[in-house]
Amino acid sequence: MADNKGVMAYCEVADGKLAAIGAELLGGGRKLADDLGEELVAVLVGSGVSGLVQEAIALGAEKVYVVDDELLKEYQADSYVAAMEKVAMQAMPRIIMLGQTNVGRDLAPRLAFRLGTAASLDCLELAIDADSKALLQTKPVYGGNAYAVFTTEYYPQVVTARVKSMQPLERDDSRKGEVINVDAGLDASAIRTRVVEKVVEEVEGIKLEDASIIVSGGRGIGGADGFKQLEELAKILKAAVGASRPPCDNAWVPAGLQVGLTGKIVSPDLYIAIAISGSSQHMSGCSGSKNIVAINKDPEANIVKQARFAVIGDWKKIIPAFTEKIKELMAG
């Protein structure tokens, strides 16, 4: 353990570009590294990813480990875990940070177990304990009803951070850094999975995970027609439309719009919850939002307690007036 030093940020590559989560991890990782007085390193894994090194440095990394191999063209647990294991054994970092994305949540636990430890997934806050230098890993549990602070006495400490929970640094292209190429040394026969097809499902408008504003409706919306009004508001705010479980179960909206434990986990700047009571199941999907606004007829509804602002009343009267006023404010 005494040998493990530094903070490592795994920077996901999507469509040949550094994914936004990479910049966020480097921003958050920079602070942890500074608090430790240790270095921040980035890792790039993929095929043809070497060109992204300078960007990782400009976003805060002092060193960039690169594993570039044809066999790493697509994410697959077998090949990526092996590549990351090699990097981890060479760099011996104190902390490995990944993003809570479909890749990170697959890679982090396998990597942690491979390295003889367990990870903490979906952390909202990461901090260094001043005395022990341990990484304090705060994450929602029980669907956001509670938060737990974990630490690990086994190194490296592997975590994933929720998307948008950390701030990227300003890109500074004058920053200098070192590049370390690591040979993947992969054997194609050791990769037991094969991606045969990738299917992109077109979503109309803005994707829930990417939206900085979400307009979300619950059981009280009453039907598909009600959601049309929500869509109109969303359009004006450049927001995505979401829903709690009942509208999805009743097919008023597609199942892919569900926010909650058994749906999407989102953390927008603004989450407008309309006629949503705020069950634990739903809150686990949206409790990471920076601002929750509740529009609900029941002042005792859980969502109202968890909101920053609330209007108590019938959404059918409130939403048209709210939409009009927003339009006016945005025009002015």
Site for other proteins, residues 292 to 321, rule: CB under 8 A: 293-295, 299, 302, 304-314, 317-321
Q: Which is nearer to other proteins, 54 or 106 (CB)?
A: 106
Query: Does residue 109 touch other proteins according to CB under 8 A?
Result: yes
Instruction: Out of 139, 166, 240, 257, point to the residue binding other proteins (CB under 8 A).
Output: 139
Binding segment for other proteins among 3-11, 50-58, 75-83, 173-181 (CB under 8 A)? 75-83
Instruction: Out of 120, 216, 229, 244, point to the residue binding other proteins (CB under 8 A).
Output: 120
- 181 φψ region: left (φ > 0), alpha (ψ -120 to 50), beta (else): beta
Binding segment for other proteins among 62-70, 167-175, 219-227, 284-292 (CB under 8 A)? 284-292
Query: Are the beta carbons of 165 and 288 closer than 8 angstroms?
Result: yes
The 10 Å Cβ neighbour count of residue 223 is: 10
* Interface of this chain with other proteins, residues 83 to 102, rule: CB under 8 A: 101-102
β-bridge partners, 63: 41, 178
Q: Which is nearer to other proteins, 39 or 152 (CB)?
A: 152
Name the phi and psi angles at 95, rounded to 5: -130, 135
Q: How far is the CB of 309 from other proteins (least distance, A)?
A: 5
Query: Does residue 325 touch other proteins according to CB under 8 A?
Result: yes
Q: How far is the CB of 173 from other proteins (least distance, A)?
A: 28
Indicate the SS3 state at residue 42.
strand
Which structure tokens are listed for 67? 């594993």
Instruction: Out of 196, 204, 225, 251, point to the residue binding other proteins (CB under 8 A).
Output: 196
Residue written as token pair 């430790």 = 36
* Interface of this chain with other proteins, residues 19 to 48, rule: CB under 8 A: none
Q: How far is the CB of 84 from other proteins (least distance, A)?
A: 13
* Interface of this chain with other proteins, residues 204 to 263, rule: CB under 8 A: 207, 209, 213, 237, 255, 261-263
Q: Indicate if the alpha-carbon torsion angle 308, 311, 316, 317 is positive or negative.
A: negative
Q: How far is the CB of 6 from other proteins (least distance, A)?
A: 20
Q: How far is the CB of 230 from other proteins (least distance, A)?
A: 14
β-bridge partners, 137: 126, 150
Residue written as token pair 């029941």 = 298
Instruction: Out of 141, 167, 178, 228, point to the residue binding other proteins (CB under 8 A).
Output: 141
Instruction: Out of 4, 50, 250, 280, point to the residue binding other proteins (CB under 8 A).
Output: 280
The 10 Å Cβ neighbour count of residue 92 is: 15
Q: How far is the CB of 135 from other proteins (least distance, A)?
A: 11
Separation of alpha carbons 129 and 148, rounded Å: 15
Instruction: Out of 4, 50, 117, 250, point to the residue binding other proteins (CB under 8 A).
Output: 117
Query: Does residue 127 touch other proteins according to CB under 8 A?
Result: no
CA 36 to chain centre: 24
Separation of alpha carbons 135 and 149, rounded Å: 10
Binding segment for other proteins among 28-36, 39-47, 147-155, 224-232 (CB under 8 A)? 147-155
Instruction: Out of 3, 130, 188, 192, point to the residue binding other proteins (CB under 8 A).
Output: 192
- 173 φψ region: left (φ > 0), alpha (ψ -120 to 50), beta (else): alpha
Orientation angle between helical segments 77-91 and 104-114, nearest 10 degrees: 50
The answer for residues whose C-beta is within 8 angstroms of residue 232's C-beta and 6 or more apart is: 323
Q: How far is the CB of 73 from other proteins (least distance, A)?
A: 13
What element of type H or E holds 240?
strand 240-243
Binding segment for other proteins among 22-30, 35-43, 61-69, 73-81 (CB under 8 A)? 73-81
